Amino acid sequence: MLADLHLHFEGSVPRNTLVAIAARNRHAFGSGDAFERALAASRQSRSFLRLFADCCRLYSSPADYREAAVALGKSLADELAHAEIYVSPEIWLRFGLDPSAVLAAIDAGLAEAENETGARLLLLLDSVRQWGPDAAERVLDLQERTKLPRVVGFGIGGEEDSVAAAAFRPAYERARRLGLGTAIHAGEWAGADSVAAALDALPLDRIDHGVRAAEDAAVLARLASSGVTMCVAPSSNLATSVYDGWAAHPLSRIIEAGAPVCLSADDPTIFATSTAEEYRRARGELGVSDAVLDGMRKAAWNARFGPR
């Protein structure tokens, strides 16, 4: 049974659904092979943030999100028994959509996919780091108003060196009081210090990426003793040029240091991967043994949020 705890909604919607919604809404990705050309261009320039923003911009209503959620849920269920998917209410707000309505639509779409497939499809509320702690508090206001059982965690992503982790401490403590699991994107763009700062300042269950902790043996050792699970997404790291190639990826060193690690697809549509594919590539490209792969699959299962 495979679980993935680090996926982002708009980067995971299957290509055909994404293009169909874009065509209806007269978004550029709706015509011909525009999405493929944008993917190729972003691979060449190694700038995926703009592509992700374009993937967010193509939705014009909660109904679009519901349709995307059904397709996304069914496609994830091909491989996964348990998925935790980040959604970003503050991005919806900036694109003129009502966050409560979009969240309800996604909830309904995932419920439909769950009923059809039997997979568990849960949500994590994400705030954008460079938009600061006020945005994070607004995301938690939404959680207080809506309290959907499907929402099981809270995290922040975005530009890792923009706002200090400590600024988000009140938000993380509030998230815990609301019964949410907690995670943060760190150690991807910023170095080992960003992982140490997050561990110092925040009550954390998981770190998304965290791979650059490998640059500092003390931070790696600290991760190993902290019980915080790292959700590592190797293909994402290569596509965004955190590392030049598989030979440079530190996954094996992180595993050897004893930090709990599981593998994630992050944005499978954008990075042309899937969760099972990440495990296959770890074996094929990095020579990770079957026993260690099994351990990572179990680590994902152990670190999941929500009722057991």
Candidate list 188, 215, 256, 278, residue with the active-site label: 188
Between 84 and 266, name the residue whose CB sits nearer to Zn ion: 266
Between 62 and 263, name the residue whose CB sits nearer to Zn ion: 263
Min dist. Cβ of residue 63 to Zn ion (A): 26
Taking CB under 5 A as the criterion, which residues in 208-247 touch Zn ion?
208
User: Does 84 engage in binding with Zn ion (CB under 5 A)?
Assistant: no
Name the token pair of 86: 């980040």
C-alpha–C-alpha distance, residues 299 and 230, integer Å: 9
Min dist. Cβ of residue 231 to Zn ion (A): 8
Piece in contact with Zn ion (CB under 5 A), picked from 9-17, 143-151, 265-273, 286-294: 265-273
C-alpha–C-alpha distance, residues 48 and 52, integer Å: 6
Piece in contact with Zn ion (CB under 5 A), picked from 15-23, 49-57, 138-146, 260-268: 260-268
Between 88 and 143, name the residue whose CB sits nearer to Zn ion: 88
Min dist. Cβ of residue 75 to Zn ion (A): 18
Nearest residue relative to Zn ion (C-beta): 266
Instruction: Provide the residue type at 251 as one letter.
Output: L
User: Does 126 engage in binding with Zn ion (CB under 5 A)?
Assistant: no
Min dist. Cβ of residue 43 to Zn ion (A): 17
15: phi then psi, degrees, rounded to nearest 5? -50, -50
User: Does 266 engage in binding with Zn ion (CB under 5 A)?
Assistant: yes
Strand partners for 84: 122
The two beta strands, 229-232 and 80-87, are unpaired
Alpha carbon distances (Å) from 304 to 2, 4, 62, 78:
11, 9, 27, 19
Between 65 and 271, name the residue whose CB sits nearer to Zn ion: 271
Q: How many residues bind Zn ion (CB under 5 A)?
A: 2
C-alpha–C-alpha distance, residues 307 and 87, integer Å: 20
Indicate if 188 belongs to the active site.
Answer: yes
Min dist. Cβ of residue 157 to Zn ion (A): 6
Separation of CA 18 from chain center: 18
DSSP conformational letter for 205: S
Task: Name residues whose C-beta falls within 8 Å of residue 82's C-beta, 6 or more positions apart in sequence.
Answer: 1, 2, 3, 4, 119, 120, 122, 300, 301, 304
Helix (H) or strand (E) holding 196: helix 192-201
Piece in contact with Zn ion (CB under 5 A), picked from 145-153, 166-174, 264-272, 274-282: 264-272
Taking CB under 5 A as the criterion, which residues in 195-214 touch Zn ion?
208
Active-site positions read: 188
Contact residues toward Zn ion (CB under 5 A) are 208, 266
